[in-house]
Structure 1
């Protein structure tokens, strides 16, 4: 049962997480709820890293294990950031951007090693990186006070990241 949770759980958790992040950016999720979500994800990532290590020692699975292990650290930093108030914003940003771009390396590696639908993984990598760039652009314009109509741009960036990563994880979970 644990093996199935490790294989198929990300197919549920990835789109759920990005939807949750987008909802938070739209003001629909409280900081206390985000803190709890970070605690849960930190625990899940630790369990995944520990229980999956034996099966993830070679090839692209090894790359993905490292992404999960580093992702655990960045998620933990984000969790700590919520406890530090405004001073923790940089740690929260590390968690957000870490999860925007860390999977891109795994997607490129998966495609490079000959995945059946390599284009999908390359596309997910591009969506992750471009989405992060769109997010930064929108957030920068917002903080600089440039035209208020750009305030939704960070959510568009999150959408690019979420759609790309979700497509790739669904293929990985159900395509093999």
Structure 2
């Protein structure tokens, strides 16, 4: 039962995560909803990598295990950033939230570059994914307002979704 979820779940969760992030920027969903999403994603990341540890021991899957391992504390930085919004942690939340956002925008770019060098078919999809990650991250940094930030997040999400969909359906 859990194997199909592990194999197909990321293809749903990746676009969902970026959609929620963009919706939060636009005020469509609350900051609290984004905080809850970070909590859920933290639990799912840990559960996914623990359940898939042996399956992700070599090759492309090992690359993505390393991305998830690096991304878990990045996600937890986002959780801490949301908790710090009320100044209850005594740390500025912006740095923690930026670490979470830019971390998850850029970590998969490294995974895409590694993946494209290991696959025989569809390497261009991973090139596009990496370019979208970097372009979207730069777009977020330079965006003059919420609408353009959401567009830039959409670019990141589109690139990452293309990569995970290719991996899910092709492999």
- Please, what TM-score do these two structures have when normalized by structure 1? 0.90
- Structure 1 unaligned runs (5+)? 143-150
Q: Which residue is 2:34 aligned to?
A: 34
Higher helix share: 1
Cα separation, partners in 2 of 1:123 and 1:81, compared to 1, 3 Å: same
- Give the stretch that moved more between structures: 91-100 or 79-88: 79-88
- The 5 Å alignment of 1:131-146 reads 131-138=136-143, 141-142=144-145
Q: Which residue is 2:117 aligned to?
A: 112
3-state SS of the aligned residue for 1:29? coil
Is 2:151 aligned against 1:156? yes
Q: Which residue is 1:50 aligned to?
A: 50
Number of matched pairs: 166
1:172 aligned to 149, 153, 167, which one?
167
- The 5 Å alignment of 1:78-93 reads 78-85=78-85, 87-93=92-98
Cα distance in structure 1, aligned partners of 2:94 and 2:30 = 15
Q: Which residue is 2:3 aligned to?
A: 3
List structure 1 segments (4+ residues) > 2 angstroms apart after TM superposition: none
- Please, what TM-score do these two structures have when normalized by structure 2? 0.93
Cα distance in structure 2, aligned partners of 1:114 and 1:51 = 24
- Structure 2 unaligned runs (5+)? none
Deviation at 1:152, TM superposition (A): 2.0
